[in-house]
């Protein structure tokens, strides 16, 4: 499976600021996904990022709040904009199986965000 | 929205026992099913995928699928304290082109 890295691994931010999270994978993949996981909760899909097209957002998530870039087949960014304490969460990037099954997903290590 | 249901637990089993984790799903057309293990403070790790009815074995893990009953299970034989984690069931929803996750079952293996 692909090796996935995320930066930063954790951050503490002030209310009203923005943070950009990077996701890098060591091989080309078709689909990249961004999830949020709040303490003690399961995974919530924020959006799907495909190279060369606009990200597809899930209900309850909007582009102005969570802009996403996908400039190539190995990299994506998620920005959390105008942050509030409610945005404190773990943000996870995942990728599809690359040359393997596209319905299989592998997760990066996550970014732990705390908003004060 | 398609649903995936799991008992949140915790499920407690003694070391060496078989742990049985269950999952039901709502989309009758689903074809791809996955189990992820998530240790506290870590990201989910894929441990099993299953696509056909019946059993699929990988080491101490066996995934079982019954599409007619819309039921997926994960058996862990000879459970070890290191198996203590949250186990997430996920179902690929083809129409939505995404994985739908259950809430996860907390497993505790007591030595």
**What are the pLDDT digits (tens) for A53-110?**
889 999 999 999 999 999 999 999 999 999 999 999 999 999 987 666 667 899 999 9
Q: List residues bridging with B11 in a β-sheet.
A: B107
Output the pLDDT for position B16.
98
- Residue of chain B whose alpha carbon sits nearest to that of A112: B41
**What are the pLDDT digits (tens) for B14-59?**
999 999 999 999 989 899 999 999 999 999 999 999 999 999 999 9
Q: How far is B49 from chain A (nearest CA, A)?
A: 8
- Optimal mutation site among A38, A42, A56, interface B, most CBs of chain B within 10 A: A42
Residues in chain B closer than 8 A to A45 (CB atoms): 98-99
Residues in chain B closer than 8 A to A40 (CB atoms): none
DSSP A16-40: T--EEEEEEESS--SEEEEEEE-TT
Output the pLDDT for position A100.
61
What residues have CB less than 8 Å from A27, skipping those under 6 apart? A2, A74, A98, A99
Tell me whether residues A104 and B104 touch, CB distance under 8 A.
no
Tell me whether residues A107 and B43 touch, CB distance under 8 A.
yes
- Residue of chain A whose alpha carbon sits nearest to that of B43: A109
Residues in chain B closer than 8 A to A103 (CB atoms): 32, 92, 94, 99
* Residue B82, SS3 per DSSP: helix
Rg of chain A, C-alpha, whole Å? 13
pLDDT band per the 50, 70, 90 thresholds, residue A51: confident
- Optimal mutation site among A103, A107, A112, interface B, most CBs of chain B within 10 A: A103
Helix%, strand%, coil% for chain A, nearest 5: 5, 50, 45
- Residue of chain B whose alpha carbon sits nearest to that of A89: B41
């Amino acid at each position: 499976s692909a090796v996935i890295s995320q930066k930063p691994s954790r951050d503490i931010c002030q209310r009203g600021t923005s943070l950009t999270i990077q996701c890098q994978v060591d091989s080309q993949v078709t689909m990249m996904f961004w999830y949020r996981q709040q303490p003690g909760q399961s995974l919530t899909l924020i959006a799907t990022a495909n190279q060369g097209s606009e990200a597809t957002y899930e209900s309850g998530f909007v582009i102005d709040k969570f802009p996403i870039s996908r400039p190539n087949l190995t990299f994506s960014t998620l920005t959390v904009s105008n942050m509030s304490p409610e945005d404190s969460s773990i943000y996870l990037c995942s990728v599809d199986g690359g040359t393997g099954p596209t319905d299989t997903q592998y997760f990066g290590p996550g970014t732990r965000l705390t908003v004060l | 929205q398609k649903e995936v249901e799991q008992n949140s637990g915790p499920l407690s089993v003694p070391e060496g026992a078989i742990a049985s984790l269950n999952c039901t799903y709502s989309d009758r057309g689903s074809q791809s099913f996955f189990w992820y293990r998530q240790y506290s403070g870590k990201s989910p790790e894929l441990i099993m995928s299953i696509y056909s009815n019946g059993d699929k074995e990988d080491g101490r893990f066996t995934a079982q699928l019954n599409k007619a009953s819309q039921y997926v299970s994960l058996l862990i034989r000879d459970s070890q304290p290191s198996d203590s984690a949250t186990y997430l069931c996920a179902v690929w929803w083809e129409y939505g082109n995404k994985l739908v996750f259950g809430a996860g079952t907390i497993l505790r293996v007591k030595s």
